Amino acid sequence: MGDLELHLLIADRWKADGGLMFGVVPKILWEKQKPADANNMIDVACVCLIARMNGRVIVVETGIGNKLSEKRALQVALREPESLLHHLKRLGIRPDEVDVVITTHLHWDHAGGLTRRNQEGEVELTFKNARHFIQKTEWDFALNPDVRSRPSFIADDFTPLADGNKLVEFLDGDAEVLPGVHVRHVGGHTPGSQVLILRSGELACAVTGDLVCQTPHLRVPWNMSADIDPLRVFEQKARLFEEAELHRWLLVLSHDVDQPAGYLEGGGRWRPEPRLL
């Protein structure tokens, strides 16, 4: 895409509760598109992006990683943890060669891969030389979440970035962190949720995070029950969709298993981009 080399990948496959994914949307509507198993669980993926741009390597989203307890990994039927590192290796990129890492927020299924458990059982940073851009509001909330959000944050995922490593750079709202690499603060799902927009000339790719989890969430009022501010989610989604359709942005959705990337066309139609899969 212009100067941008994009590699889209699925870092983990797992299962999430249908009610968590679709909130108050009646099951009779969502299950036609995302069938649930006997435990009401649906298939989800952690979608990540590796981008090369002007000689820099950028990783967007890091998935769950390898630190989940055996019990928790079984509960969510986790498969293929650490495939982000395998894909990097296939591209000939060592983790210490990654320049910039951006996760859309600090929930366990997006920030888990920021750190990993090594062979000695210790938690270490995955990308030891990268700059990590995080909204300050997200960091503060992740350290002190409300009672409902508490299980969604695991301190080991992100606190080592600040422990003397100085790899975290806090943002206060929208920013251009490298030429062509734009972060948009959207909030809604969490206080510091951000959308990443990579631009090359007129072309752009937007990584939505949990603002848009799966293709059924391309409807503005279909949101997750985990959102702390649903009305803000609707507002920011409507804005993003308008721009994406008008300027033909490639959208990358956070958790879709079948069609995670594509273009929005008139009337809310989704044209998947299969070449990226």
Write out the residues near Zn ion by the rule CB under 5 A: 109, 210
CA 155 to chain centre: 18
Determine the 3-state secondary structure of 1 from DSSP.
Answer: coil
The secondary structure of 170-207 as a DSSP string is EE-S-EEEETTEEEEE--SSSTT-EEEEEEETTEEEEE
- Closest distance of CB 232 from Zn ion, Å: 17
State which residue, 65 or 180, has the beta carbon closest to Zn ion.
65
State which residue, 210 or 227, has the beta carbon closest to Zn ion.
210
Which residue is it, tokens 């649906």?
42
Determine the 3-state secondary structure of 264 from DSSP.
Answer: strand
- Closest distance of CB 254 from Zn ion, Å: 5
- Closest distance of CB 166 from Zn ion, Å: 27
Residues 73/124, Cβ–Cβ less than 8 Å: no
- Closest distance of CB 107 from Zn ion, Å: 5
State which residue, 210 or 244, has the beta carbon closest to Zn ion.
210
DSSP state of 79: B
State which residue, 76 or 167, has the beta carbon closest to Zn ion.
76
State which residue, 137 or 208, has the beta carbon closest to Zn ion.
208
Determine the 3-state secondary structure of 133 from DSSP.
Answer: strand
State which residue, 57 or 102, has the beta carbon closest to Zn ion.
102
Please provide residue 30's backbone torsions phi and psi, each rounded to the nearest 5 degrees.
-80, -30
Residues 13/79, Cβ–Cβ less than 8 Å: yes
Which segments of 86-226 are extended strands (E)?
Answer: 100-102, 115-117, 123-125, 131-135, 168-171, 175-178, 181-185, 194-200, 203-207
- Closest distance of CB 152 from Zn ion, Å: 9
Residues 18/41, Cβ–Cβ less than 8 Å: yes
Residue 140, token pair as written in the block: 């503060």
State which residue, 110 or 116, has the beta carbon closest to Zn ion.
110
**To which H or E segment does residue 85 belong?**
helix 83-90
Strand partners, 271: 263
- Closest distance of CB 105 from Zn ion, Å: 8
- Closest distance of CB 226 from Zn ion, Å: 8
